[in-house]
Structure 1
Amino acid sequence: MRAVYATDLSDAIETAINSRTCLECLQRYGIEEIELVTVTSPNVTAGVPTGGIGKQTERALDRQRQILEDAGFSVTERAVRGTPHRRINGVAEQVNAALIVVGSRGQSPLEQRYIGSTARNVARTAVRPLLVQRISGRDDHHEVEREHLFERVLYATDFSENAQHAFEQFEYLQTPTQEATLLHVAPPGRRADSETDRVQDAEGRLAELADELEQMGIDATTAVREGEAVEEILAAEAEFDPTTVLMGSRGQSRLRRLLLGSTSEDVIARANANVLVVPPARVP
């Protein structure tokens, strides 16, 4: 399978590319080929692959390509000009990528985390599964937050079709994932006399999904919470300490392609773990 790896050629992104553990996780996911993409200003002449770009940019891109090739990937480097999220998503469509990887540099401490505009815009418009990889630190010191990208997965589901589509990612995650927590957050304010039935139904549905994962060799547990979705997902993240949060996004407008639902966007912005967000299935 092929991934688009977005790079701004910064020290932060190079820290992630230099993490052999992270790269091995991508390989265990099934990634064999990488399109290494950097987007330059529209005012800079750039071609595909690297004709016409500055020598410094070319050297940095070559260096990162070499790191990935030394790790065992087949790599194509691309320097393109334009709006970053449009070009990144466009390349992903062009090469039929199974995954897009975008780094998200957070502030310190973690409670002040934010998501950069490029990562946010890629997430809002991606029609391919997107891994937002956490990179912490400032200035000349950076580190990846979770080197074992998929070792422990927190899967958040509302039992919708989109959430089920996200669950299908475990087909690729069954090799790198050892543990999974399946979480359903029920909205507050329901009638008390229906509470027991509602919880039991959610627990039963989660148990069925857990059984599927157990058959894949993944140790699965379940949790049902009540409250506001984002807050409860983040509370579950703090409790279970996943390396990645897995969830689906919801398309809101065909005219504006697929926009991220507010829950997904808020989790991407505020979680400490990596986030793997899966857009709705494509209509044939």
Structure 2
Amino acid sequence: MFQRALICTDLEDGLHRLVDFVPNLALSGLTQITFLHTTALLADREIPRPDQEKVDQANEQLSKALDNCPDGVEVKVDIQSGRPVDHIFKAIKTHKPDILILGSENRSQLTEKLFGSTTVELCKRLDIPVMILRPQLISTYTVAELQLRCQDLFRYFLVPYDDSKSAKAMVQRIKELAPNRPQNSLQELLLVWVVDKVTRRSLKDVTQLQIQEAEKKLTEVKADLDELGLNINTLVRQGEGIPEILATGMDYDISGITISSNSFGKLAEWSSPSFAGQLLRQSWHPVIYFPMKK
């Protein structure tokens, strides 16, 4: 599914641990892995300058990734100084990854509005997928757990589906990526449609029709994807969208959740949060955000 990854770490988010698991990341299908870290500039003089001590420390810490590199896998370490977002865009132009991997704290919308968010800014402007990993989990995995997590990074995805424009776009991206997927990558999909649960008896017949229509649509999508050689499952649940998707993630052995949106990060979301935005903020599973093609 993906072969070139840019892993951005601030050395406190747990993602720096991945330097010890390059062979396992290679098993997920990655053939090029770049670790990027950006240090703050020293501003004790008129002209800001790099903090060479921190640059050297970061380079020493991340260069461990070069020590155990399997044949056929290229590993790079990129240390910069300045504003992280700026250097992430520069690194994307330089290294040409097909996925960006970030750690993200569990922030509220209000926190993002007041202080900004690197993740939100990137998702608004990038053309490549962004995988969000929870630092709290990566930091606490044992070595054995992290080995398995790294090699299964792209194996089995839950795909929320409601026949919307963004859901159809997500399926289309999967169709584009699947034919050239590496071994051990993108083996299974779980398509999940959540129908609102009603308590009024007079509306139950309507709900049943919605469930039947959802099942029909999912069957059609599955048939469209069957030619890709994936193990595809479908599921219709009743309830609220985000809680039901997160609950389904716990019930199935998924590697992560994929989502696309044409509204995440836009100004309108402050008054009407997007499904993708809520999922990125609340999910403890890895989430891959696919920007809508322009």
TM-score, length of structure 2 as denominator length: 0.72
Aligned pairs for 1:122-161 within 5 A: 122-123=122-123, 126-134=126-134, 136=137, 144=146, 146-147=149-150, 148-161=152-165
CA deviation after TM superposition for structure 1 residue 100, in Å: 0.5
> 1:183/1:63 Cα in 2 relative to 1: closer, same or farther (>3 Å)?
same
Q: Indicate if the aligned counterparts of 1:92 and 1:128 stay in contact, CA closer than 8 A.
A: no
Which residue does the alignment assign to 2:113? none
CA deviation after TM superposition for structure 1 residue 216, in Å: 1.7
CA deviation after TM superposition for structure 1 residue 139, in Å: 8.1
> 1:277/1:266 Cα in 2 relative to 1: closer, same or farther (>3 Å)?
same
More helix by share: 2
For residue 215 of structure 1, give the secondary structure of its aligned residue in structure 2.
helix
For residue 243 of structure 2, give the secondary structure of its aligned residue in structure 1.
helix
CA deviation after TM superposition for structure 1 residue 63, in Å: 2.4
CA deviation after TM superposition for structure 1 residue 89, in Å: 4.0
For residue 72 of structure 1, give the secondary structure of its aligned residue in structure 2.
coil
Identity score, percent? 22
Which residue does the alignment assign to 2:60? 59
1:184 aligns with 2:190: no
Q: Which deviates further from its counterpart, 76-85 or 139-148?
A: 139-148
Cα deviation 1:184-221 (Å, max 9, x = unaligned): 12334594443333222221221122223332221111
Q: AA paired with 1:269?
A: R
Which residue does the alignment assign to 1:114? none
Q: Which deviates further from its counterpart, 216-225 or 189-198?
A: 189-198
Q: AA paired with 1:61?
A: L
CA deviation after TM superposition for structure 1 residue 234, in Å: 0.5
CA deviation after TM superposition for structure 1 residue 33, in Å: 3.0
Cα deviation 1:150-188 (Å, max 9, x = unaligned): 222111122222222222235435551232210112334
CA deviation after TM superposition for structure 1 residue 11, in Å: 8.4
1:263 aligns with 2:275: yes
For residue 149 of structure 2, give the secondary structure of its aligned residue in structure 1.
coil
- Structure ID, larger Rg: 2
Structure 1: how far apart are the matches of 2:204 and 2:122?
Answer: 41
1:164 aligns with 2:176: no
Q: Indicate if the aligned counterparts of 1:162 and 1:279 stay in contact, CA closer than 8 A.
A: no
Which residue does the alignment assign to 2:18? 16
> 1:90/1:208 Cα in 2 relative to 1: closer, same or farther (>3 Å)?
farther
Q: AA paired with 2:35?
A: L
Which residue does the alignment assign to 2:289? 277
Q: Which deviates further from its counterpart, 263-272 or 203-212?
A: 263-272
Structure 1: how far apart are the matches of 2:105 and 2:60?
Answer: 23
> 1:228/1:61 Cα in 2 relative to 1: closer, same or farther (>3 Å)?
same
Q: Indicate if the aligned counterparts of 2:158 and 2:249 stay in contact, CA closer than 8 A.
A: yes
Structure 1: how far apart are the matches of 2:154 and 2:229?
Answer: 14
Q: How many residues align?
A: 262
Name structure 2 gaps, 5 residues minimum: 43-47, 107-116
Which residue does the alignment assign to 1:79? 79
Structure 2: how far apart are the matches of 1:84 and 1:227?
Answer: 39
Deviant stretches of 4+, over 6 Å: 139-142, 253-256
> 1:261/1:209 Cα in 2 relative to 1: closer, same or farther (>3 Å)?
farther
> 1:198/1:156 Cα in 2 relative to 1: closer, same or farther (>3 Å)?
same
Q: AA paired with 1:228?
A: E
TM-score, length of structure 1 as denominator length: 0.74
Q: Indicate if the aligned counterparts of 2:41 and 2:81 stay in contact, CA closer than 8 A.
A: yes
Instruction: From 6, 9, 12, give the equivalent of 2:8.
Output: 6
